[in-house]
Amino acid sequence: MEIIDKGISVVLLAYMEEDNLKFLLPQIINNLNKIGQDFEILVIDTAEPLDHTREVCTEFNARYINQEWPGFGGAFKTGIKYANKEKFMILDSDGSHNPNNIPEINKKFDEGNYDIVIGSRYIKGGETNDKKTSVVMSKMLNLAFRICLGIKAHDISTDFRMYDTQQLKNVKLDNKNYDVLQEVLLKTK
């Protein structure tokens, strides 16, 4: 078992997100500073960078890492490999997750002694910019996941989550795409 430092590893998965990161990283840093815990920001970029994401990371003191395995699942696993803090938070680099929710998710994680906290789009106060048909389909899929997997969560398909890092490092994840999000819930419950 490797030694993990106290604090939060924030992992952003990026694919040509240079412009979004210029806007997003200052907001993330501001919200992490409000929490008052040590943190690191890891930006996992595609294996062959297609824009200037590396330079943006340097500007905001975020650690730039090339993705080691293919697909969303590969980027997720790369983030787990390099995370050095006790808590692992993942969010999208496209701005679809509100960085202002970071302190609330962290507070819930710390107060509830949870292994995973999911930032749901479908609870009171949650938000999404998805089209109504996408929301209905997503809610139906989430209901099916909850029933089939026996997991009590409203939004199993979102990746805006906080985990116990050591628990993630102890789990072997096999899925290469977005289904890694359900796999990690199954293997950590």
pLDDT in tens, 80-114: 999 999 999 999 898 888 999 999 999 999 998 78
> In which band, very low, low, confident or very high, does the pLDDT at 188 lie, cut at 50, 70 and 90?
confident
Q: What is the pTM of this model?
A: 0.87
Q: What is the pLDDT of residues 145-180, one digit of tens each?
A: 778 777 777 777 788 999 999 999 999 999 999 989
Q: What is the pLDDT of residues 37-63, one digit of tens each?
A: 999 999 999 877 788 999 999 999 999
pLDDT higher than threshold 70 for residue 66: yes
> In which band, very low, low, confident or very high, does the pLDDT at 123 lie, cut at 50, 70 and 90?
low
Please tell me the predicted confidence (pLDDT) of residue 65.
Answer: 97
Averaged pLDDT, 118-124: 66
Give the type of residue at 93: S
